[in-house]
A and B are shown apart, each in its own frame.
Chain A
Amino acid sequence: AQTVTQSQPEMSVQEAETVTLSCTYDTSESDYYLFWYKQPPSRQMILVIRQEAYKQQNATENRFSVNFQKAAKSFSLKISDSQLGDAAMYFCAYRTLSVGTPLVFGKGTRLSVIA
């Protein structure tokens, strides 16, 4: 079974600085999807960024980028120029290529942003 591990339960960053959240996963599949979801204190979970395993290029979305290391099964999220609104729980998630299959989530990292 696939598993997703987030080894940092909590992290903090100064406003305008850069922070990296770690995620590793375990799978025997060769192709799959990886996601980072953000859950602000209001609780609505939203997608931050996604990566297709068959793509070599790391995904980027404005201030958010990933470092995808397929051989190491590592998928870290980098947040540049951190803002107060980035404070949230961040979940790393995995999904197989089969359409309609559920996500497998890590336990989350709580990010605090210090003004």
Chain B
Amino acid sequence: DVKVTQSSRYLVKRTGEKVFLECVQDMDHENMFWYRQDPGLGLRLIYFSYDVKMKEKGDIPEGYSVSREKKERFSLILESASTNQTSMYLCASSLTAGPPLEIDTQYFGPGTRLTVL
């Protein structure tokens, strides 16, 4: 089974702090994604990466950056956390090449609920 893990389930930070959210997958997936989930807004894409050291902006990249130094790890960075970044953050991964049913499926981590005070 594919496993996507996120470093924390709950995180509380102060305004202005630098925040790192870590995501690790164990199935050698090429693609990794960071989404933000807010009530009434669904999931919105922040950044994604289709290879090591590659990154693409999603719909709401402002205030965030990412790092993908190793294939299995994709980090989301809040350079200076603000209260409007209080949210649930979901990481996902998917294959680029493989069985058709696998390459079409994104696997999600359990999420990190971040509160910025």
Contact = CB atoms under 8 A, between A and B. Distances in A.
Nearest to B58: A102
A29 to B, nearest CB: 15
Interface residues of B, number: 28
Among A100, A103, A108, chain B packs the most CB atoms within 10 A around the CB of: A100
B31 A45 contact: no
Contact of B42 (A44, A50, A102, A107): A107
Interface stretch (B12-20, B75-83, B106-114): B106-114
B106 A103 contact: yes
Contacts of B103: 99
Contact of A91 (B42, B50, B105, B110): B42
A47 B105 contact: yes
A28 interface: no
A46 interface: yes
A37 B94 CA distance: 15
Contact of A102 (B48, B101, B109): B48
Given A43-B88, A45-B90, A102 B45 contact: yes
Contact of A105 (B42, B94, B101): B42
Nearest to B34: A102
Interface of B: 30-31, 33, 35, 40-45, 48, 50, 58, 88, 90, 92, 94, 96-97, 101, 103-106, 108-111
Interface of A: 6, 9, 33, 37, 42-47, 50, 91, 95, 99-100, 102-103, 105-108
Given A43-B111, A102-B33, 18 more contacts: A6-B42, A37-B108, A43-B88, A44-B111, A45-B90, A47-B105, A50-B104, A50-B105, A91-B43, A99-B96, A100-B30, A100-B48, A100-B96, A102-B45, A102-B48, A103-B33, A105-B35, A105-B44
